[in-house]
Amino acid sequence: MNISVIVCTYNRCESLRSALNSVANSKLSDDVTWEVLVVDNNSSDQTGEVAKEFCRQYPNRFRYLFERQQGKSYALNSGIREARGDILAFMDDDVTVETSWLQHLTAPLADGDWVGSGGRILPERTFSLPHWLSSEGPCALAPLAVFDLGSDSFDLAEPPFGTNMAFRKKVFERYGGFRTDLGPSPGSEIRSEDTEFGRRVLSGGGRLRYEPLAVVYHPAPASRLKREYFLAWWFDKARADVREFGIDPGARWSIGGIPLCLFRKFILWTARWMITFHVSRRFDCKRRVWSVVGSIVEHRRMARRQGTLTKNTGSNGELVRSPNDKM
């Protein structure tokens, strides 16, 4: 196999050094050719120097690419264009990988059964769950990029997370690159560029494999173990969902481009937040309120950007009934 590991980075020179050290120690079969392509997304710190240091230390392994257009999706797409591998693996600039990570992650792509794969993303070993946060539910720790579907391999029915996934390069030729209206960029923490691409592949019939032995450790610094961080993450996640999926086709009524069902959800979850006393359950209700508000904000932004309101609203913003609705 011929593999390219793409690491996009922006102003994280210290964590980048740790991430590159971990991937440099990867152990693969002798018949595998692989490289690490570091994409500097216009950093203003010592990122370039750190990356070039690894290029000097590993001249046949590491390469450096500078992408001036800021935004993670721009960096990812540049990396895809410049990668030499037939298989592209992705990791973030703040993670550490096990030495067997790359071998396990890319092994399913050696034949034609799967076009992509995703591995296990665990919190760093010193992580402890805050008392106000529940770990119940598959997405409870998503703001910390935790992706843990158990210890068995199987076909994925959901997209993997971007810091531990791999695809055949030809998949990008078929489905396109990462959407540039998603992904972190200056002034915006809206993400989902990775999962949107994975869903695109799945909806097109591509098979993805979950490989639990491909393990990445994601940091959980004190700055992220705060309620404010989680609330902001879920707010932006809701905005990203609206951009990806558009207006809910089941929404029969809207005003100002905002489905009325969102106002009902806002009232419901606000009420539950107010009357719930269990700490973690109360916070879960609160983060749902923030999600609904994020969805409302993004629906309104999209309506304004389009210059007209949705088909279920009048031109002056008055609530009207769709012609297809029955009395």
| Rounded-to-integer distance, Cα 229 and Cα 227, Å | 5
Per-residue pLDDT at 314? 42
Per-residue pLDDT at 112? 84
Residue among 152, 286, 164, 168 at smallest CA distance from 232: 286
Per-residue pLDDT at 51? 98
Per-residue pLDDT at 321? 32
Per-residue pLDDT at 250? 67
CATH T-level assignment (fold) for domain 2-218: Spore Coat Polysaccharide Biosynthesis Protein SpsA; Chain A (3.90.550)
Stretch(es) of the chain classified as CATH 3.90.550.10: 2-218
pTM above 0.85, yes or no: yes
pLDDT mean values, one per 10 residues, the chain (327 residues)? 95 97 96 97 97 97 98 98 98 97 96 94 92 89 95 97 97 97 93 97 98 97 95 97 84 86 96 96 97 96 72 39 30
Angle made by CA atoms 196, 102, 99, in degrees to the nearest 5: 135
Per-residue pLDDT at 249? 65
Contact yes or no for 137/130 (Cβ under 8 A): no
What stretches of 276-326 show up as alpha helix (H) in DSSP?
279-306
What DSSP line would sit under 64-111, residue for residue? Answer: EEE--S-SHHHHHHHHHHH---SEEEEE-TT-EE-TTHHHHHHGGGGS
